[in-house]
Amino acid sequence: MDNSFDVVVVGGGTAGLAGALTLVRARRSVLVLDSGSPRNAPAAHLHGYLGRDGASPGQLLAVGRAEVAGYGGAFRSGAAGTALAVDRLPDGGFLVRCADGSAVRADRLLIATGLVDELPELAGLGERWGRDVLHCPYCHGWEVRDEPIAVLATGPLAVHQAQLWRNWSERVTLLAHTWPLTGEDRELMSALGVAVVEGEVAGLDVVGDRLTGVTLAGGAAVACTALVVAPRFTARAGVPRSLGLPVVTVERAGVAIGTCLEADPETGATALRGVWAAGNVAGPLEQLAGAAAAGVRAAVSVNTDLCEAQARTALEAHRARRGGAGPA
């Protein structure tokens, strides 16, 4: 059937495409549903992905889609490729309902919907996100090495961020902003040569579409060409919630940093039989390479489950032909 697949992959980012590629090469019929809004779309280039360092996010996805399609994988993109909800069918399969009103059937489901970076409340951050408002030094640190970098303190992890970014530049400033720093925090920053600036940040200073600094509520300006923030990593969990799957709070060093769909870290299996998850929806701290690896691991587990189900069906049919007898 045109609308029935062995596996429907919800989400066509790095994890979803890596999983889809593994599955189509395992001769499975696969449909990838993709909204066309990858998390890293604001960034001009991606880094740390072996063989594709420096490519744009769009280039990586275009290559991945072509590879999946080359083995017979199908796609639904844009609004029609947005899965609104999934229903469990009586036979154990799934009915995936799409934004355009259509529906497809899946024997197995791989959720790779990713997450949303929820930025701190400060005007202008969203427009510069992924450009000179940054989070991950492994993604962007090299590009701003030795430049003046400011870290916006909105929680207890700000000191850790300043310590980490200090590896890429000796010109790091910690903006106390809305977070009260302890005496030990200040001592550590002093030891690392990180300046601490008091006062709430009121806005960004941009000249010629380039960040030049921030302005404090009192009017003082602090120069920087990169501003480091700590977003909240919120899982795109509409599909998991429609299936009743648990979405849990993610903590680091005792601090809530976001949410994720609970899944086995090795196989991606969720609490609901027949449903797997991979990438940032299940591992918010995964980078591109880790998300791709998670997609492959989940796909291997999906295919193994399908093979075992086919084997059980074959054995039952074989025994039925022999009159229900067990092993000879």
For 95-127, what is each residue's pLDDT tens digit? 999 988 899 999 999 999 999 999 999 999 999
| Averaged pLDDT, 168-180 | 97
73-76: long-range contacts, CB 8 A cutoff, minimum separation 24: 73/20, 73/21, 73/23, 73/24, 73/30, 73/31, 73/32, 74/5, 74/29, 74/30, 74/31, 74/32, 75/12, 75/31, 75/32, 75/33, 75/34, 76/31, 76/32, 76/33, 76/34
For 257-269, what is each residue's pLDDT tens digit? 999 999 999 999 9
Residue 1 has pLDDT above 60, yes or no: no
Percent of the chain, pLDDT > 90?
91
Residue 281 has pLDDT above 70, yes or no: yes
Residue 255 has pLDDT above 90, yes or no: no
CATH number 3.30.499.10 given to 120-228? no
CATH topology agreement for domains 4-117+232-321 and 120-228: yes
Q: Model pTM? A: 0.94
Spell out the domain ranges in the chain: 4-117+232-321, 120-228
CATH architecture of the domain formed by 4-117+232-321:
3-Layer(bba) Sandwich (3.50)
Question: What is the band of 327 on the pLDDT scale with cuts at 50, 70, 90?
Answer: low
| Averaged pLDDT, 163-167 | 98
